[in-house]
């Protein structure tokens, strides 16, 4: 590190320290000038049965009221102990002040017993406050210790290392992006130093992914029986059978349409939700490949079942490594002058895409095959591209075969994502169609894998092409789903184009339940956080494809870019037709758009290097990284799903992060 870089780092450290100490603790500095006063003896307490300073709250509502204050009030501190239950405590503050004779309620807030800062709340009354009423909602029958209410309390100074590192990282990103002279002379040359740095980045990202995969206790130890299907299938396969041990009820076997689950519920007919039911037996329709790679070996070797979150983490880790390899291969083949710094930025941006963060932070049964399919798709592309740059012929054929095997295995994870295999035509066909050995190495893995999967399908459902998804006992009868143009258009809007809904309150991104007042049919949908094109700023570079067409044509990348994006559009229609509109399904199709965006970004980076405008591109990429981080943060802490969001499943973390953003 030269002297200029060292001085820059020292400046950034000082600025980050100042921001964390002053701006992020503005409330603490401001409260130094307050006159703290504690109210207890002259405070009215209702709703609790008193024993010294402890109150039993039989009905779950404890009210504290202070009258005749006649003073300026800037904040309140609740000197109370709610730690008995450990659950979040909702409370509402009501005031009378110089502008309001009658009490008016302020927005409901949440106090988290494990988050000290949540005991403080700032107020902005109209003039002097005459009375304050605080109504706490606690679990009925719980006990609360009350020591009073502090008015104009001094908020403690709190230096957050995590927040400091985020600030420092953001400053470093923009500082280095604005100074391309520091790194422009270091292209992706594959030097030992660069390989070490890349390996370190991959390890750090995998470590962060492991932490993210465990932040949701409900996904780590799933309480839902139907989330154990892969584990039950492992037991069945160990016995040599494809069906599960669970026995369908007599009523289910006799009902005319067992896939009308609303009818089953209305008539109290017992069934296993989200399992596949076919001719008197239960099956698992989720792809067999994750089962054979992880769940079954773990069960056979240890006698214990692999948790779903661990399977998702392992596939996501493989995806991280694959993205770094793929971007490296693309750069070596078509964009060799790309600076190493921008290579790292593109890789990190890709694996930290908000849609992928959604999966790793909520790693459940449904996400296992989706993440596995993404991993195999990226590895397949990377190996194919590496094969095109490899000699001798034997090694090239091996890489082609390995890439095709990865692509073919997608059929055993998420069959619809097998459409990404069409990328082989613009990538390989023109150059290798006249080489029988290469064509054979590309095609044979598909034939071998297809034969095994078709046998598995035929043994279960009587047809080699029937994966069984339509027999799922889910929220709607999947056997009757069909294509409707209006439904397809709804899917294109909500999956791709619908803008995210932003709010001024944490976590700032609102999950929206998909509904349509005009579609007169059954629309299977859940909440989403906006279409993946509208929400991911990086994908907006796709709108510059026309301006980059000449360069893409010169590098023979036009077809690869176009087909990649087109496959994503086709997958939108496939998913909305045969499944519905769900946030996690966006990970079926987002890769096609993202890969096309990576190719376009590399085109513009190369153009900027040639024209001396690299600084503009690098700063723009830094802005995109920041906006993507904000979007990913919103998805990570989003409260759309009431079953697995962090506000419910990990309130300690949720409210801790919320308070970190209260300056």
- Asked if residue 273 and residue 196 are part of one domain, the reply reads no
The tens digit of pLDDT for each residue in 631-663 reads 999 999 998 877 788 999 999 999 999 999 988
Confidence band, pLDDT 50/70/90 cuts, at residue 517:
low
- Quick check: is 2 in a domain? no
Same domain, 411 and 463: yes
Q: How far is CA 125 from CA 40, 104, 470, in A?
A: 22, 10, 58
Name which of 58-67, 465-474, 481-490 the model is least confident about. 481-490
- Whether 620 maps to a domain, the answer reads yes
- 136, 151, 166 - which closes a domain: 151
In a domain, 379, yes or no: yes
145 and 283 belong to one structural domain: no
Domain final residue, candidates 277, 302, 327 = 302
Give the three-class secondary structure for 181.
Answer: helix
User: Of the residues 271, 302, 333, which one is the last residue of a structural domain?
Assistant: 302
Q: 25 φ, ψ to 5°?
A: -120, 30
428/488 same-domain check: yes
pLDDT for residue 97 is more than 80: yes
Average pLDDT over all residues of the chain: 92
311 and 292 both lie in a single domain: no
pLDDT at 189: 81
| 125: confidence class by pLDDT, cuts 50, 70, 90 | very high
Q: What's the pLDDT at 205?
A: 97
Per-residue confidence band for 530, with pLDDT thresholds at 50, 70 and 90: very high
Residue 549: pLDDT above 70? yes
Q: Is residue 576 a contact partner of residue 615, using CB atoms and an 8 Å limit?
A: no
Q: How many CB atoms lie within 10 A of CB 260?
A: 17
Q: What are phi and psi of 262, to 5 degrees?
A: -65, -40
- 3-state SS assignment for residue 76: strand
pLDDT at 321 over 70: yes
Residue 401 phi, psi (nearest 5): -65, -40
List the beta bridge partners of residue 49. Answer: 56
- State the pLDDT at residue 231: 96
Residues 335-379: pLDDT tens digits?
999 999 999 999 999 999 999 999 999 999 999 999 999 999 999
Mean pLDDT of 158-184: 90
Q: Is position 331 within any domain?
A: yes
pLDDT at 45: 92
Domain containing residue 451: 178-219+307-660
Would residue 30 count as lying in a domain?
Answer: no
> Which contiguous run of DSSP H or E holds residue 156?
none
Residue 574 lies in a domain: yes
Same domain, 320 and 188: yes
Residues pairing with 510 in the sheet? 501
- The C-alpha torsion from 251 through 256 and 260 to 262, rounded to 10°, is -50
Mean pLDDT of 52-78: 92
**pLDDT tens per residue across span 599-617:** 999 999 999 988 878 899 9
Is residue 1's pLDDT more than 70? no
Give yes or no: residues 558 and 637 share one domain.
yes
Instruction: Indicate whether 168 belongs to any domain.
Output: no
How large is the average pLDDT for residues 445-457? Answer: 96
CA distances from 381 to 132, 424, 434 (A): 64, 8, 21
CA separation for the pair 124, 100 (Å, rounded): 13
Is 371 contained in some domain?
Answer: yes
Q: Give the chain's domain count.
A: 3
Weakest-pLDDT range from 79-88, 283-292, 329-338: 79-88
Q: Give the pLDDT of residue 78.
A: 95
Residues 496 and 416 in one domain: yes
CB atoms within 10 A of CB 296: 21
Burial of 113 (0-12, 13-18, 19+ CB in 10 A): buried
Beta-carbon contacts of residue 60 (< 8 Å; ≥ 6 apart): 137, 138, 139, 140, 141, 142
Residues 287-307: what's their mean pLDDT?
A: 96
Same-domain check for residues 106 and 209: no
Q: Are 144 and 136 within 8 A, CB to CB?
A: yes
Instruction: For residue range 372-422, list pLDDT tens digits in order.
Output: 999 999 999 999 999 998 888 899 999 999 999 999 999 999 999 999 999
Task: Grade residue 187 by pLDDT with cuts at 50, 70 and 90.
Answer: confident
Give the Cα separation of 131 and 123 in Å (integer).
Answer: 13
Higher pLDDT, 84 or 34: 34
Looking at the chain, the whole-number percentage of residues with pLDDT higher than 70 is: 100
Residues 295 and 346 in one domain: no
Same domain as 424, residue 378: yes
**Average pLDDT of the segment spanning 49-55:** 85
pLDDT at site 22: 95
Q: What is the pLDDT of residue 437?
A: 86
**Which CATH number characterizes residue 124's domain?**
2.60.120.260
Is the pLDDT score of 477 beyond 80?
no
Dist. CA 553–CA 555, nearest whole Å? 5
Instruction: Specify the range with the lowest mean pLDDT, choosing from 40-44, 169-173, 634-638.
Output: 40-44
Are both 461 and 339 inside the same structural domain? yes
Q: Which pairs count as long-range contacts for 435-444, CB under 8 Å and 24+ apart, including other chains?
A: 437/393, 437/397, 438/393, 438/396, 438/397, 438/400, 441/397, 441/398, 441/400, 441/401, 441/404, 442/400, 442/401, 442/403, 442/404, 443/404, 444/401, 444/404
* pLDDT of residue 624 exceeding 90: yes
* pLDDT bucket at 486, cuts 50 / 70 / 90: confident
């Amino acid at each position: 590190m030269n002297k200029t870089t060292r001085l820059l780092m020292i400046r950034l450290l000082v600025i980050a320290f100042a921001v964390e100490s002053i701006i992020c603790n503005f409330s603490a500095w401001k409260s130094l000038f307050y006159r703290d006063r504690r109210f207890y003896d002259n405070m009215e307490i209702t709703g609790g049965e008193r024993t010294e300073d402890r109150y039993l709250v039989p009905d779950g509502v404890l009210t504290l009221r202070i009258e005749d204050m006649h003073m300026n009030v800037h904040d309140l501190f609740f000197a109370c102990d709610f730690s008995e239950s450990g659950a979040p405590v909702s409370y509402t503050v009501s005031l009378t002040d110089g502008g309001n004779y009658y009490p008016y309620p302020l927005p409901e807030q949440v106090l988290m017993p494990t988050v000290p800062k949540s005991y403080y709340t700032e107020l902005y009354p109209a003039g002097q406050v005459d009375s304050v009423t605080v109504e706490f909602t606690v679990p009925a029958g719980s006990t609360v210790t009350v020591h009073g209410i502090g008015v104009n309390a001094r908020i403690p100074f709190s230096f957050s290392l995590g927040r400091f590192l985020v600030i420092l990282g953001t400053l470093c990103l923009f500082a280095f992006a604005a100074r391309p002279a520091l790194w422009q002379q270091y292209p992706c040359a594959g030097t030992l130093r660069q390989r070490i740095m890349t390996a370190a980045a991959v390890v750090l990202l995998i470590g962060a992914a492991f932490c993210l995969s465990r932040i949701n206790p409900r996904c780590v130890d799933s309480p839902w029986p139907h989330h154990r299907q892969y584990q039950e299938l492992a037991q069945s396969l160990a016995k040599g059978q494809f069906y599960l041990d669970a026995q369908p009820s007599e009523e289910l076997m006799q009902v005319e349409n067992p896939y009308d689950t609303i009818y089953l519920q209305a008539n109290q007919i017992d069934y296993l939700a989200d399992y596949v039911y076919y001719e008197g037996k239960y099956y698992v329709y989720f792809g067999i490949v994750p089962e054979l790679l992880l769940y079954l070996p773990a069960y056979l070797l240890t006698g214990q079942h692999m948790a779903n979150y661990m399977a998702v983490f392992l596939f996501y880790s493989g995806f991280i490594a694959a993205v770094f390899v793929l971007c490296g291969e693309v750069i070596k083949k078509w964009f060799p002058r790309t600076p190493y710094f921008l290579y790292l930025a593109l890789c990190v941006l890709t694996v930290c895409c908000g849609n992928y963060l959604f999966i790793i932070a909520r790693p459940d049964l449904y996400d296992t095959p989706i993440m596995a399919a993404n991993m195999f798709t990226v590895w397949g592309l990377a190996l194919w591209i590496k094969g095109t740059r490899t000699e001798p012929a034997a090694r090239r054929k091996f890489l082609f075969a390995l890439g095709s095997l990865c692509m073919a295995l997608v059929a055993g994870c998420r069959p619809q994502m097998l459409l990404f295999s069409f990328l082989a035509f613009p990538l390989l066909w023109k150059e290798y169609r006249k080489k029988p050995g290469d064509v054979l190495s590309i095609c044979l893995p598909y034939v071998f894998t297809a034969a095994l999967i078709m046998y598995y399908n035929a043994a279960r459902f009587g047809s080699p092409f029937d994966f069984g998804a339509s027999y799922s006992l889910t929220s709607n009868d999947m056997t009757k789903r069909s294509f409707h143009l209006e439904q397809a258009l709804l899917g294109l809007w909500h999956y791709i184009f619908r803008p995210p809904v932003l709010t001024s309150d944490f976590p700032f991104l609102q999950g929206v339940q998909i509904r349509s007042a005009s579609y007169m049919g059954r629309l299977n949908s859940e909440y989403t956080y906006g279409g993946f094109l509208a929400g991911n700023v990086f994908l907006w570079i796709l709108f510059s494809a026309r301006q980059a067409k000449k360069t893409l044509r010169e590098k023979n990348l036009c077809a690869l870019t176009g087909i990649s994006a087109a496959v994503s559009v086709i997958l939108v229609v496939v998913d909305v037709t045969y499944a519905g509109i769900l946030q996690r399904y966006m990970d079926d199709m987002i890769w096609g758009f993202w890969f096309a965006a990576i190719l376009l970004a590399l085109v513009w980076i190369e153009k900027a290097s040639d024209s001396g405008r690299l600084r503009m591109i690098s700063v723009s990429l830094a802005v995109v990284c920041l906006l993507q981080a904000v979007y990913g943060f919103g998805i990570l802490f989003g409260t759309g799903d009431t079953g697995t969001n962090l506000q419910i499943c990990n309130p300690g973390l949720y409210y801790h992060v919320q308070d970190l953003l209260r300056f």
